[in-house]
Structure 1
Amino acid sequence: MAATPQKPAAATPRRKVSRHRGEGQWAVGHHTPLNGNEQFKKDDDGLNVRTRIETIYSKRGFDSIDPNDLRGRMRWWGLYTQRRPGIDGGKTAILEPEELDDEYFMLRVRIDGGALTTRQLRVIGEISQEFARGTADITDRQNVQYHWIRIEDVPEIWNRLEGVGLSTVTACGDTPRVMIGSPVAGIAADEIIDATPALEEMKRRVLNNPAYSNLPRKFKTAISGSPVLDVVHEINDVAFVGVVHPEHGPGFDVWVGGGLSTNPKLGVRLGAWVSIDDVPDVYEGVLSIFRDYGYRRLRTRARLKFLVADWGAEKFRQVLEDEYLKRKLVDGPAPEQPSQQWRDHIGVHRQNDGRFYVGFAPRVGRVDGATITKIADLAEAHGSGRVRTTVEQKMIVLDVEEDKVASLVEGLEALDLTARPSSFRRGTMACTGIEFCKLAIVETKQRGSQLIDELERRLPDFDEPLTINLNGCPNACARIQVADIGLKGQLVVNSEGEQVEGYQVHLGGALGLEAGFGRKVRGLKVTSDELPDYIERVLKRFEAEREDGERFATWAARASEEALS
């Protein structure tokens, strides 16, 4: 299963695997690179760029970097060039890559399952302060991202991260990205099954493995044994969701083919139950299908979701069983509807061992190295050696004795990290935005933080669960299509006829077993300055019109366009 398919000595008969022809699928003999990305991956494995970074680029500087490494293979080690300061959003799609590139990098630290020791967290904070001008954003995939990284400093950063068991390997690129997991795995009192052993074995098999270092595009994974469905499983390439089989007991339901970006699709169930021991095999099988059958001709169609859409769940499961697992999977039940409206683990909760965990909310994932170091200190001072990051850009301190909870909560509040956030602080996320991202059109992080403050001031009594997701471009890194209020950054024309930063609005998206994409109101675009007024107006209308117990997403689906405008 793990071996990369050998190129055939001669042409082999093509098998029709979809309605599309010539998609660059290795498994049907299409090995000729069909675009520049496929060519540079064929020329040299992205994993190999580390040696050049350590021996050449870090010593000779930015100008020595080969372009195919700079804008390609370096992603295999978590490195993207960041946006050159002063370039406005109107030029994002116009300028060439070398015109957008700054001589500094974003560096992504992968944190599989969001699991960190306080020692690891402290090292992350120290690196931030020494090498990244204090930056250390928490992402919605449980990672940490630095900015302002110099190529000269990368080997030392790797040395420090790896010294405490962390890595940046395949944090970006056409690779198996970070494996997100329940942030309360192994400690939650209501957990169906602890997925940690499976996640660790999945990492062992695929990280740094050349058999999986040349995929058609990125590959996103989620696994959780929590009944609250806390890993956005519907929008991952593969996801394992905790369920109880009536005969076989606790295990996982398998989902494939989810993803957002400009062509969003929700994942589909294979209808298969797998034990925790079988999860790594099934994971490798799905990953191998993507490698072998994934579309490589057009980058816009190279995600697994397009193959799943063409094949359907039944055929996908058949190929998985017959060609990769060599055995049939057990049919199994779907997960149950979560009983909780919030699934982010914010607040104080009792663990299965009688101790407590405390979830708290930074502002839109933006923290700094000094604060991260203080979180590590605070956790240790309250008897904890473990923290977790979440898929909502939040954090959790684990293993706190009951008599120390109040003091920890107070200490976090002093750092502006509240365990008792408003709905707006709790539910607002933002992507990197134009400050650093070369794809962005508008600013997001500061706008999101200001929006939280303004909505708290205007609607102090609003306490319904609500997600507000801000994205700087159409690519949906902040999951705009599945937010209650999703805001897609674009340039809009204001009342004076000027082109300014603004957003297209998506309303009523949701995840969970009632997952769906948000509704777009025809012609509705809001300038950044108008954003607080618009959201206040819509939320007041929601409060006036909602039925008893009705969620915002449900109301938004039935509300008139006038009510949503």
Structure 2
Amino acid sequence: MPPTSASKTGARPRRGEGQWALGYREPLNKNEENKKNDDGLNVQQRIIDIYSKAGFDSIDPADLRGRFRWLGLYTQRAPGIDGGKTAVLEPEELDDRYFMLRVRIDGGQLSVAQLRAIGEISTTYARDTADVTDRQNVQLHWIRVEDVPAIWEKLESVGLSTMEACGDTPRVILGCPLAGIDADEIVDATPQIQQVNEEYIGSRLFSNLPRKFKSSISGCSAFCTNHEINDVSFAGVIGPDGTPGYDLLVGGGLSTNPMFAQRLGAFVRPEQVSEVWAGVTSVFRDYGYRRLRHRARIKFLIKDWGPEAFREVLEKEYLGYALPDGPEVDMREGQQRDHIGVHPQRDGRNYVGFAPRVGRVSGTRLSRIADIAEEHGSDRIRTTADQKLVVLDIEDDRVGSITAALEAEDLQVRPSVFRRQTMACTGIEFCKLAIVETKDRGSELIDELERRLPDFPEPVTINLNGCPNSCARIQVADIGLKGQLVTDANGEQVEGFQVHLGGGMGLTPSFGRKVRGLKTTSADLPDYIERVLRRFLDQREQDESFASWAARAEDGDLK
């Protein structure tokens, strides 16, 4: 049993955590009770048969704030509720009568027809809203429940869905947008992503997990899917026998208790990925903690067990065979992970990566991107894990034309440091958890920093988050901004941010440094960031990164 295995590593076995495998089948909180009462996948038919016909007021609250998520639907925040009310009001007081809808895009892979369909859904049903997320999805807003069946039909007609885009389920599988075309790729993970999707997404085997479950499967040599912070990651390596495969990592995640994923030390061959993924997910389903929501992620399980015990349980109880030991990923210093710019493909053509403002686009713009790609001979558009997009398969003589067409739409192929490196979550405009506004704030910040520091040389990441949950990965940004209410110079409570400095992934992963009292109002944000970036330039040693400087700088220099 896992407690015995865990005891070998010195971990104390935990009981009473609601683990199914230890006999705790009775729900220990309302979320678990709701899932036991009815599988989240069952809500799909009720939406089609009942709620879309009878309207918002007909929706069972247990479906509205629970099971709807299994089909990618969240109620969005009602307009006009300030951030100070976020933690005070009841859910029904925060709910608008409209929904955010998340379109699932595994591996970030889209055809022209698929992207055009999303654009048309946005303009028809979502008030022309669309955000490209750092999970490679597209989010739409202002969705009425009456329109959901028609939206699903449109998505299904082009091979897309919203299945398990949210909820306590296996969410979208991250993959490299250059899979199959990058000359430096370790292994093309497209077949493995497709297999996992076909075999397990929408399956009742994994429709009741303790909490959300985030996966990445990628052979990218730049490690663009951020294997360090997913619940389970398969990251490309060359195995002991010289063939390509994957290093297996488990237990990454950010939110209010960030942890980096831990290597299990195992090598996974491509043909094993689907069953190993299912094995890891099954361990989480059966042994994951279900008593307290804030401890229900797999990262807490592997923290308590340790990677050795977790691997032992995976192999003995779920796989029935031992995985060979394998190497860890081979990262290089200073790798850019976002695939921005014009670069050659292995077939002699080019991919063109471009940056919208903090992931915010629109249905009109998505349709225009589809048109531009098609006009330039491409049927392959990709989303990235950094709120960016890439068009594949552009001939040399069309590069100038597609670059000009994209940049005419404010989609920069050669963006400034600040356009390229700034991300923002949904924020208070639509999110019920948010405390501050982020998307417009991030866009305005880009403009200000481009004006004030036009020649800034370093790729410093700036991530804005509207609440502590870190959807925009604030702990692993050079400058991470966590939304909260702060006191301004006049003693008034206003929107602002707690500042985290020097976080990052790669060769030297670390969570950002927090300096006591280091906060800024939203209005003062451009002044603060300009000030700290100028100090970095003044004090840095030769080729020193911002993260290295932030780790050694005096507190006063970071304020």
Q: State the TM bucket, normalised to the shorter chain.
A: over 0.9
Distance 1:319 1:71 in 2: 34
Aligned partner of 1:347: which letter?
G
1:249 to partner: Cα distance:
1.4
Would the aligned equivalents of 1:347 and 1:359 in 2 still touch at CA under 8 Å? yes
* Residue aligned with 2:494, SS: strand
Amino acid at match of 2:126: A
After superposition, give the CA deviation of every residue in 1:499-549 in whole Å (9 maximum; x if it has no partner).
Answer: 000000000000113111000011111000110011001101111111111
Amino acid at match of 1:520: K
**2:106 matched to which residue of 1?**
112
Q: CA RMSD in A?
A: 1.3
Asked whether 1:149 is paired with 2:143, we answer yes
Cα offset, 1:20, TM superposition: 2.5
1:181-192 equivalent positions in 2, closer than 5 A: 181-192=175-186
Contact 1:14 1:28 in 2 (8 A): no
Corresponding residue number in structure 1 for 2:9? none
1:527 and 2:521 matched: yes
Q: How far is 1:338 from its partner?
A: 2.5
* 1:43-72 deviation per Cα after TM superposition (whole angstroms, max 9, x unaligned): 110000001000000000000000000000
Counterpart of 2:54? 60
SS at match of 1:121: helix
Structure 2 residue identity aligned to 1:19? P
Q: Does 1:75 align with 2:69?
A: yes
SS of residue in 1 equivalent to 2:156: helix
What residue is the counterpart of 2:81 in the other structure? 87
Q: Which amino acid aligns with 2:286?
A: D
Give the match's secondary structure for 1:203. Answer: helix
Equivalent position SS for 1:277: helix
Of residues 262, 282, 285, the one that matches 1:288 is: 282
What are the within-5 Å matches in structure 2 for residues 455-474 of structure 1?
Answer: 455-474=449-468
Indicate the larger mover: 17-26 or 124-133: 17-26
The one of 211, 233, 236 equivalent to 1:217 is 211
Shift of 1:339: 5.0
Residue of structure 2 equivalent to 1:509: 503
Tell me the distance in 1 between the aligned counterparts of 2:138 and 2:413: 20
Aligned to 1:404: 398
- The DSSP-based 3-state class of the residue aligned with 2:271 is coil
Structure 2 counterpart SS, 1:211: coil
The structure 1 residue matched to 2:258, chosen from 246, 253, 264, is 264
Assess if the C-alpha contact under 8 Å between 1:241 and 1:253 holds in 2.
yes
Task: Output the amino acid matched with 1:538.
Answer: V
Runs of 4 or more above 6 Å deviation: 12-17
> Would you say 1:299 and 2:283 are equivalent positions?
no
The correspondence of residues 93-108 of structure 1 with structure 2, limited to 5 A, is: 93-108=87-102
Asked if structure 2 preserves the Cα contact closer than 8 Å seen for 1:423 and 1:464, the reply is: yes
Aligned to 2:327: 333
Aligned to 2:154: 160
Deviation at 1:245, TM superposition (A): 1.8
Q: Which of these residues, 129, 134, 143, is aligned with residue 128 of structure 2?
A: 134
- Alpha-carbon separation, structure 2, partners of 1:546 and 1:192: 35
Q: Using the TM superposition, give the Cα deviation of residue 19 of structure 1 relative to its aligned residue in structure 2, in angstroms.
A: 3.3
User: How far does the alpha carbon of each residue in 1:268-314 deviate from its partner, in whole angstroms, 9 at most, with x for none?
Assistant: 11111111001111100000000000000000000000000000010
Q: Secondary structure at the match of 1:41?
A: helix
Counterpart in 2 of 1:355?
349
Which one-letter code corresponds to 1:71 in the other structure? Answer: R
Q: Is the 8 A contact 2:72 2:166 kept in 1?
A: yes
Please state if 1:231 is matched with 2:225: yes
CA distance in 2, matches of 1:263, 1:208: 29
Structure 2 residue runs of 5 or longer lacking an equivalent are: 7-11
Contact 1:227 1:338 in 2 (8 A): no
Provide the C-alpha distance between the structure 2 equivalents of 1:350 and 1:49, rounded to a whole number of angstroms: 45
CA distance in 1, matches of 2:494, 2:471: 22
Distance 1:117 1:241 in 2: 25
The superposition leaves residues 430-462 of structure 1 with CA deviations (integer Å, 9 ceiling, x where unpaired) of 000000000000000000000000000000000
Cα offset for 1:21? 1.9
CA distance in 2, matches of 1:103, 1:265: 36
Cα distance in 2 for partners of 1:322, 1:341 equals: 37
In 2: Cα distance, 1:349 partner to 1:248 partner: 28
Query: Which letter maps to 2:216?
Result: A
> Does the CA contact (< 8 Å) of 1:341 and 1:465 recur in 2?
no
The alignment's TM-score, normalised by the length of structure 1, stands at 0.97
Q: 1:249 aligns with which of 233, 243, 246?
A: 243
Following the alignment from structure 1 to structure 2, what is the Cα–Cα distance between the partners of residues 259 and 330?
26
Residue 547 of structure 1, aligned match among 541, 546, 550? 541
Residue in 2 aligned with 1:421? Answer: 415
Measure, in 2, the Cα distance between the counterparts of 1:426 and 1:396: 13
Does the CA-based 8 Å contact 1:142-1:180 persist in structure 2? yes
* Matched residue type, 1:30: Y
Question: How far 1:481 moved relative to its partner?
Answer: 0.2
| Structure 1 residues 360 and 248, CA gap change in structure 2 (3 angstroms) | same
Q: Residues 437-516 of structure 1: matches in 2 within 5 Å?
A: 437-516=431-510
Alpha-carbon distance between aligned partners in 1 of 2:5 and 2:280, rounded to the nearest angstrom:
19
Match of 2:17 in 1: 23
Which of 309, 316, 324 is matched with 2:318 structurally? 324
Q: Distance in 2 between matches of 1:456 and 1:350?
A: 28
Distance 1:425 1:286 in 2: 37
- Paired AA for residue 151 in structure 1: V
Contact kept, 8 Å, 1:139 with 1:393, in 2: the verdict is yes
Distance in 1 of aligned mates of 2:77 and 2:337:
34
Checking the alignment, whether the CA contact within 8 Å between 2:253 and 2:261 is kept in structure 1 is: yes
Q: Cα 1:339–1:381, aligned 2, differ >3 Å: closer, same or farther?
A: farther
Q: Deviations over 1:470-506 (max 9, x none)?
A: 0000000000000000000000000000000000000
Structure 1 residues 551 and 13, CA, compared in 2 at 3 Å: closer, same or farther?
A: closer
Amino acid at match of 1:39: E
Distance 1:460 1:307 in 2: 46
Separation (CA, whole Å) in 2 of partners of 1:381 and 1:16: 58
For 1:193 and 1:76, how far apart are their aligned partners in 2?
31
Measure, in 2, the Cα distance between the counterparts of 1:305 and 1:13. 15
Residue-by-residue CA offset, 1:142-189 (whole Å, 9 max, x unaligned): 000000000000000000001000000000000000000011110101
1:205 correspondence with 2:199 = yes
Work out the CA distance in 2 between the residues paired with 1:145 and 1:284: 27
CA distance in 1, matches of 2:160, 2:333: 35
Give the match for residue 365 of structure 2.
Answer: 371
